[in-house]
Structure 1
Amino acid sequence: MDSVNDTFKKFGLKTMLMLSAFIVFGLTGCVDDDDNVNAPPTSLNIVTLAETNDQLSILASAIFDADLGGTLQGTGPFTVFAPNNTAFNNLPDGTLDNLSSEQLAQILSFHVVEGEITASDLSASQTVETIQGEELLVTVDGGTVTVNGSAVVGTPDVEASNGIIHIIDEVLLPQEFREPNIIDQAEELGNFTTLTSAIEQTGLTSTLQYLGPFTVFAPTDAAFNNLPAGLLNGLSDEELAEILQYHVLNGTVLSTDLMAEQAVPSLTQEELFITANGGVTVNGSSSVATADVEVSNGVIHAVDQVLLPDAYGTIVDAASKRYFFSTLVSAVADAGLVDALSSTDANLTVFAPTDEAFANLPDGLLGSLTNEQLSSILQYHVLGSEVFAGDLSSEQSPESLTGEDLFITAGSEGAFVNGSTEIITTDVDVNNGVIHAIDGVLLPNVFLDIVQIAQKDYNLTSLVTALSDAGLVNTLKGDGPFTVFAPTNQAFEDASAVIESLSAQQVEDVLLYHAAAVEALSGDLSDGQTIQTVQGEDITVSIDGQGNVTLNGSVNVIEVDRQGTNGVVHVIDGVLVPPSFN
C-alpha cells in the first residue's frame, strides 16, 4: 500500500500557472460549441454516458472497479470533472492496477461535486467541495477552464440525466496520493497550525495548494504566539489576508538564490527586505529557522516572526526592517528619539537618509556630534504632520520639528529637499505617519556656512547664481563672520533692468554691498544704525514701532537670523544699490 502512495506522490500534479494577483485568478474553460455536437442524449446518466463516450472508457471501467456505479447512477445531480483516456494513460504504468478499490474510489470521488455546475455558472475563481471531502480550485481565464491549476477542461457541459460532465486532461489526485504542495507540507510538518488555520479562514488554501510556484516565509506557531496580545483576533479577514499574502513571493526562491541584500515584492506588491549573511533574515529581525522545504508548487522557509506590512507598524518599525536605513535607526536610538517616532499618537513625515547618504557626510562629522546635536539634525528631517508625495506643490517650505524650515520642490525631474537632496522613494505609509527616503543628510543652518544656507532655499537661487558668476562663493565660505542681506529671486527680477545695465565689476560691487564683515543678528540692529559693507559703503537701518526693519529707506527685511557657521543671513525683498551708483 505504501508503494502505491509513494508512486502517486512522485507523480503528483504540479501547478504551473503563474499569477499576476494573489486572489483573482484566470479560470476559464474552452467552451467550444463544436465539442458538444455529438453529445449523447440527456436521458443517459453519468455512468452510462461515460460508457458510451470513447474518451471516457477508462473512467467508466474505473467507476465500476471502485464500486461507485451505484452512486453516480443515482439521482444526483452531480458535476464530474472526468479525466479522459489520455489523462489515465499519462499515469505511471501499473498505477491503476496497484490501487485497492477503496483507494481508487477516493481518487475518483475527488473528481465529483454535488450539484450541477455548468461552465457558464463559473466565476473567475472558486473552490468547490468534492464528495471525497477535499476541495477543488476551478478557475476561468479567456475561455479556458482549469481545475487545480493544471487540469484543463477540453469539453465542458456534457449533459447527463443526473448531472453534467466536464472532460479534463489530467487525473486529479487528493492529498494522500500527490506530491505535497505548500498546504500539504505545512499541515504535515505540524508546527504551522495557526498559519494554516488563518489561510483557511481567509480563503487562500486552494491558491496555495494548486497554484504557483510560490515562495512562502511561513511563521511558526511560536511566531504567531509572540504577536502582541489581541492583534490577530482584532484583524478583519481582509487585513489578515493582506498580512498572509505579504509572506508570499511569486516564483521559487531558494536560500542559495539569495544575494547579501535584496528587496523583493510580495504578492501584495509591498517589498520584503531579505539579507543573507551566514543566515537568512527577513525585514531586519525575522530569522529563517528552516530553509528550502521544497514542495510541488514552490518552497517554504520557516520564520520565527510574523511579517507585518508597513501599515501595521510605526516609523521606527518601517525603518528597522529596511537594511539601507541601519545608520538612521542607530542614530535615532543614540539620540533618544525611538519613543517619539514610535508613538501612535503622532502623525509625522520623515525624510529618511539612506546609509549611503550618511556615508557621504564629511569624514568624522557624525562621530563628533553630541547626542543633543544629533537629535537636532534628526528632528530637522521630521515634519509634525503627514505629507504624501501627491500633496506636494512645485515649491513649499514646511517647518520641521526644530522650528527651522525645509525647502521642498517637486517637478518633472523629481522632488528635492533643500536644493539638492533627492527624494528617491516616496510614501512609505505607516500607522503614525509617512516616510520618504532621501539620498542626503539634511543639515540645519547651524552646521552650514552662509553660501550653503542660501543654496538650500529655492527663493535665493538668483543670488547663488550671481555669487558664482562673480566668483564670490569662496569669499563668503571663508571664516567670516559675515552678515548677508540676501535678496529673493523676485527682488532680482524687479531689479533686472538695473543689474543688466551694470558691468561685471559693478555687479560684484553690488553683491559685496549686501555683505558686512561682522555678524549682526536682528537683536543687534537699532533704528538709525549704519553698517559698513564689504564693498566699503554703508547701509542705513530703520526700525519702526512694530519692529519692522527697512534698509536704505525702501528695502524690507522679510526674514531674519538664519545663523550659520560663519555668520548670519537676513532675507530682503529688494536689491540694495550702493549710494555711489546714484
Structure 2
Amino acid sequence: MRITSAAALLPLASAFVIFDAEVFNNLETSSRRVIEKGQNIVADVEESARNAIGKGHQVFEKTQNALDDALEKVVDGAKTTREDVYNRIHKAGCDVESWLEGSSFENSFVTISEDHPDHPDHPHHPPPHHPPPHDGPPHHGPPPHHGKPHHPPHHGKSNLTVYELISKSNYTTKLAKLIDEYPDLVEKLNGTKANFTIFAPIDSAFEKIPHHGDHKPSKEAIEKVLLYHISDSFYPAGRVLHSYTIPTLYEPSDPDLLGHKQRLTVRVTLKGPALNFYSRIVAVNIFGTNGVIHGIDSLLIPPPNVASIIDLLPGEFSTLELGLGKTGLFDKINSTEYEHSGGTFFAPSNFAFKKLGPKINAFLFSKYGQKYLKALLEYHIVVDKTLYTDAFYDAKDDKDAATRPPYYHLDLPTTLEGKSIAVDITRYGPFVSVRLNGFSRVTVHDGVASDGVIQVVSDVLIPPKKPGGGKDAEGFWQGEELSVEEFKERLQPFVDESMEL
C-alpha cells in the first residue's frame, strides 16, 4: 500500500513548475528517497516470500521426517548396555536379569540415580505397585522423556506409509536396510490391508548386538526377527499400555510347538514401559497412513522354549529344575518329540518350594518321594492350552485367540489326570491379578516362550482333595502347614497312573 501511494504522487509532482531550485532539489531528493524506500520494501517482501517458501519446505520435510522429530531427543538417552548382558539377550531371546523385575519375591535389579529422569521418585514415575482406583490410563503416563514437547501426540498423521517413515528417518537407517532385503515385507508395509504396529529399533539398538566375527545370521533368521517387531493389529500408545501381550507377525516354524503367532509381553518397569521385560519404548505414536510406529532401544529376539528359560534362571528356579530333572520331565518339555501345540507352565519359584517346609521337601527329593514329585510337577503343566493374561489359545479350537473381558474364570486341565487348575483373572488398567485355586497367585505373568507361556506362581500348587478339580473342587490347599502324610494323601491316587506328557 505504501509503494502504491508514493508512485501515484510522482506524476502530480512533475506537473508543477517550481522555480525555487532549493525547493526543487529538496523535492527531487525526497522523491528518490520514496522510490528507494519503495524498492527496499519490495526487496523485503521478496525476502519474506523466500523465507516463507523455505519454511514451507521445512514444514514439508518435518512432515516427511515425523519419525526423526520423535526420536531426535531420545536417541542419546537410549544408552548401550554392556555387551556381555546383551550377548545373553541376543543368544537366549530374553534378559535373565530383567525377566523377574517387579515380582513380589524379588525387588528390582535396576539401579537408577535419584536425579535421573527415569528414577521412580521422579514426579512422572510413581511406584508401579500402586494401582489406579479406576480402569483409566496409568498415572505415570507415556514412556520416559514424555515431558518433552517433541513427543507425539503432537504429531499429526503423516501422509507416508509406515515403511516410508522408517526408510526416510535418520534414526532407523539400519532397520530400513534390513527391511529392504525382503521385497514381500516392503510391499506389505506399504499396503493398506492392515493397520500395522511397528516397534522400530533405533540405530543404537543394533550397536548392542555382540560381534561374532564374520558370522552373519541367515536371511531366514533375520526375517523372523523383523516379523517379531511387527503386528498387523493397531496398537497406539494407549492401547499398548493397557495390553499385557501383543501378537506379532512371527510364527514359529513348527506349528506343533506353539500353534499360533508369537506374542510380545508388555511390562511397566521402573524404567518405563518395556517389551519382553528389557526393550524400552522410547518414542510413541508416530502415525502413518497404514499404521503406527513406536521407537524401542533394543532389538526383540524371538524367545527360547520353556525349558531354556527355566535353565537360564537358576537363582529363582533351581529347585524346580532339579525336580524336573529327577523325574525326567525336563527332557520331555525340552524335546519336540511329544506332540503338543502350545501350553502353559505354572512355574513355582525357589521361595515357593521353601514354603512347603523342610520335611515335605526332604521327602519329595528323596528316592521314596520321586513319584510324588513327578505327580506334583505334572499338576503345574497344561498342554495345548496357552493362557496369556489377555488371550487364550486352545489347540482344539481352530479360532484365533479369544479376547477376554476384564474378569474371567477358566478351569485348565493339567497333565495330572483328572485334575484342573482354577484360574481367576482380574484386570484393572495396566495392572492384573491372577489367582490359582483361589489362593496362589501369579507373580510374574506372560513369560512368552517358543512353545508356550510361563506364569510364575507364588506357591507350589497342590491338587484339591475332591476329584476333578476346578471351581467345584473341595479341599484346595490354602497355605496351611501340611504333614508329609497329608501331602502324600493328596497325591497317592496319581503316583502310579499320572498322565504321560
TM-score (norm 2): 0.44
Structure with max Cα Rg = 1
TM-score (norm 1): 0.38
- For CA contacts below 8 A with separation 6 or more, give which structure has more relative contact order: 2
